Structure 1
Amino acid sequence: MSDAKKLARSALDQLKDVTTVVADTGDFEAMVKFKPTDATTNPSLILAAASMPAYQSLIDEAVSYGKENGKTTEEQLNTAMDKVCINFGMEILKIIPGRVSTEVDARLSFDKNAMVDKAKQLIALYKANGISKDRILIKLSSTWEGIQAAKILEAEYGIHVNMTLIFNFYQAIACGDVKATLISPFVGRIFDWFVKNTDKKTYEPLEDPGVKSVTSIYNYYKKYDYKTVVMGASFRNTGQITGLAGCDLLTISPGLLDQLSKSTDTLKTQLDVEAAKGLDIPKVTVDENTFRWQMNEDAMATEKLAEGIRKFGIDAVKLENLLRERLLN
C-alpha cells in the first residue's frame, strides 16, 4: 500500500469533520463499529431488532415490566411498548456520546394532547432509569397537531423534540417557528416519489429532489438564525449524503455508513452557514391555513407524510402483537 493510500481519510471521517453523523439503526453492533455521535430509533427499527436473538433480553424485560405495572392486558401492553422503546434507548446511550431519538406512536399523529402526554411518559420512564431528558429527543410526526405538541413540549416542559417525516418547505418552517430542537427531512423518500411519478429516474447528487429540499430548508434556517437544526434522513445512496455534507446532522443506515467508511474520495462541503446568510431568500409566515394549503398543493409531501405515518403505525401494531403474545404466555 502506498503512503498516499495510507494517509487518505475515509469519506465517513471527512463527513464527520463538517456534519454530526447519526446512526439510523437499532443494531448496537453497527453503532460500536461506526461510532456515530447520536442515534435514532423508530418502531420499524425496533421491530427488526426484536427478531434478533441478541436483543431478546430487552424484549423479555419489557414484558415483565408490563406485567408488573399494568392491571389490564391493555395497560400491560401499553406499558411494555413504552418500556421496550426505553430499553433500546438506554442500551444505545451506553454506546454513543450524544442523544437518542425515541418515537411517539405514529397512531397518535393527529392528537396533540395524546402526543404531549406520551412524550411526558417516555421522559419520566427514562428519568426513572437514571437518564436525563437532555440526552433524549422525542420523535413526533410533523402533522400540524404534531408541531403544536412540539411547541408545548419545548416551551412548557423543556423536552427536546425531533420532528420526523418532513417533506415540505413550509412544514419545516412551521417546525422551526415553534422552536423544535431538530427536524428530519426525508431525502430518500422524496427521491422515491419523483422516480415513481416522473420520467426522470436518476439524478446527480446536487440535482436530487431530496437533496434540493434539504438544502433549501437548511439555507432558510441559517439565513434567519433558526435554532432548530436540520438532520437529513432516509438516504438511498452515498451521493445523496455527500450532496448534503455540511448539514447539521445526517442520520445514515449501517450499509451506507460502511460504503462511506471504505471510500477515500475527497469530500466537498456543500452546506455552509455563512454562505446561507448571504443568500437572497424571502421570509415566509406559516400559520395553520398556510400549512394545510401548502401541504395540499404538494402531492409528494401529502402522500409521503401519510404513507410514513401508516407504515410506522403498521410496525407499531406488529410490535404490539409480538409483545401481546409474550404477555399472554
Structure 2
Amino acid sequence: MTNKLTQLKAMTDVVADTGDIEAIRRFQPQDATTNPSLLLKAAALPQYQAMISEVVAGLGSNREPASLKEAVMQIAVRIGREICQIVPGKVSTEVDARLSFNTAATVDEARKLVELYRQQGVNKSRLFIKIASTWEGIRAAEILEKEGIECNLTLLFSLTQAAACAEAGATLISPFVGRILDWHVARGNSPANAEEDPGVISVSSIYSYYKQHGYATVVMGASFRNIGEIEALAGCDRLTISPALLEELETAEGTLPRKLSSDAEFPAVPKLALSESSFRWAMNEDAMATEKLAEGVRAFAADQIKLESLLREWK
C-alpha cells in the first residue's frame, strides 16, 4: 500500500507551504506558496546567504525604507524563481500586507512583482500574486485578473470572503483551517475529531458552495495543525502543506479515503450577493473571521518589517 502523501496526490494537487528549496525538492509538490513569515524563516537558511548579500550590496549605503522594501521584493522574486525551477506549476508571492486596505497600491505592487519576475526570466503564467482577502484586496484581484495576472486570495476565514472572491473572478483562494481551529480552542471549544474541526467544516462548506454554483475559483485549504485536518479534506482542489506535515503524511500508512468530490450532492445554499456594505456587515457579524483576518494582516506586516530590518543591519 502506498503512503498517505502519495494517495493524497492522486486526488488533490499538493502544494508546499514553504520557501525552503530543499524541502520542495524532496516532496515534489505541484506548486509552492510563500509569505513574509516563510521568507523570514528562509532568510536564515545557509543557501540564501549569498543571494541576500548580493541584493543588499546593490543597496549600497541607501538603507531607506523604500529601498529596503524593494530589496525584500527582489529576495521574494529570486526565491520564487528558484522554486519555479523545481515545481511544475506555480509559485505564490505575496504583496506587502501593509497594503491590504489600499486597492490601487496593491495593484501597483502586484504589477511590479510580475515585472521583477519577468526580468528574472519567469513568465506571469507561472505566478500567483497573493493578496489578503479584505474588500480592498478582493477589488485589486478583480483588476489584476482582468489583466491576466492570476491571484491567490489569502487570510480567508469565511464563506463571505470566499463568495466575494469568486464573484471577483479570483483564480484561487486559500481558506485557513488551523487558525480557525486556534480561535475556537482558545475559547474552550476543542473538537472531538477532524470531522468536527471548525476549520475543516469551513473549507468543506466553501468547496460545496463553489461546486454548487459552478465557480471556477480553485479552493486550496491552508494553515494545517495536524494531518487529521488534511485527511478530512482529501479531494479538495488543492491543499498547501508545511514540510513537517508532508513528512508525516509520507510516513503514514493506511487507506486515505476521498472526502470531497465535485460529483457529490451538495446542500442547497443560496448565492450571496455582496455589496461593499453587506460584505463589511457580514464580516462584522463574524467575530472569528474579523479577528483572524486582522491578526493575520498584522502578523504578515510585522514579518515584512522584520525582513526590512534584517536587511538594514546586514553586513
TM bucket (normalised to shorter chain) is over 0.9
Question: Which residue number in structure 1 is paired with residue 152 of structure 2?
Answer: 162
Select which of 111, 125, 129 maps to 1:134: 125
Give the alignment partner of residue 164 of structure 2, picking from 154, 174, 193: 174
In 2, distance between residues paired with 1:301 and 1:224? 23
Q: Find the residue that maps to 2:152 and give its secondary structure.
A: strand
Amino acid at match of 2:84: L
The one-letter amino acid paired with 1:252 is I
* Counterpart in the other structure of 2:22: 29
Q: For residues 176 and 63 of structure 2, what CA distance do their matches in structure 1 show? A: 38
Alpha-carbon distance between aligned partners in 2 of 1:280 and 1:75, rounded to the nearest angstrom: 49
1:61 and 2:49 equivalent?
no
Report the counterpart of residue 15 of structure 1 in structure 2: 8
- How far, CA to CA, are the matches of 1:304 and 1:150 in structure 2? 20
Matched residue, 1:257? 246
Residue number among 26, 37, 44 corresponding to 1:44 in the alignment: 37
**Counterpart Cα distance in 2 of 1:13 and 1:99:** 20
Q: CA RMSD in A?
A: 1.4
CA 195–74 in structure 1, closer or farther in 2 if over 3 Å, else same: closer
Q: Deviations over 1:103-144 (max 9, x none)?
A: 000011001100000000000000111100010000001000
Matches within 5 A, 1:277-296: 278-296=266-284
Residue 244 of structure 1 is aligned with which of 218, 233, 236? 233
Work out the CA distance in 1 between the residues paired with 2:65 and 2:196: 48
Quick one: which of 58, 64, 70 aligns to 1:73? 64
The one-character-per-residue Cα deviations of 1:202-257 (angstroms, maximum 9, x if unpaired) are 33111110000000000111111111100000000001001000100000011110
The equivalent of 1:312 in structure 2 is 300
State the alpha-carbon separation in 1 of the partners of residues 58 and 173 from structure 2. Answer: 32
Residue number in structure 1 paired with 2:312? 324
Query: 1 CA distance for matches of 2:70 and 2:136?
Result: 24
The answer to whether the 8 A contact 2:78-2:120 is kept is: no
TM-score, structure 1 as length reference: 0.93
Partner of 1:221: 210
Which blocks of at least 5 consecutive residues in structure 2 are unaligned? none
The TM-score with structure 2 as length reference comes to: 0.97
Distance in 2 (alpha carbons) for counterparts of 1:168 and 1:55: 36
Partner of 1:104: 95
1:190 matches 2:193: no
Q: Is the 8 A contact 2:63 2:312 kept in 1?
A: no
Q: Distance in 2 between matches of 1:281 and 1:62?
A: 50
How much identity, in percent, do the aligned residues show? 55
**Residues 41-69 of structure 1, C-alpha deviations (whole Å, 9 max, x = no match):** 011111111112221122122223444xx
How far the C-alpha of 1:75 sits from its partner, in A, is 3.8
CA distance in 1, matches of 2:102, 2:66: 19
Partner in structure 1 of residue 78 of structure 2: 87
Cα displacement (A) at 1:30: 0.8
1:231 equivalent in alignment to 2:187:
no
Q: CA deviation at 1:72?
A: 7.2
* Cα distance in 2 for residues equivalent to 1:255 and 1:127: 32
Partners in 2 of 1:104 and 1:250 — Cα distance?
A: 21
Q: Which amino acid in the other structure matches residue 314 of structure 1?
A: A
Secondary structure of the 1:274 match is coil
How many angstroms apart in 2 are the aligned matches of 1:271 and 1:305?
26
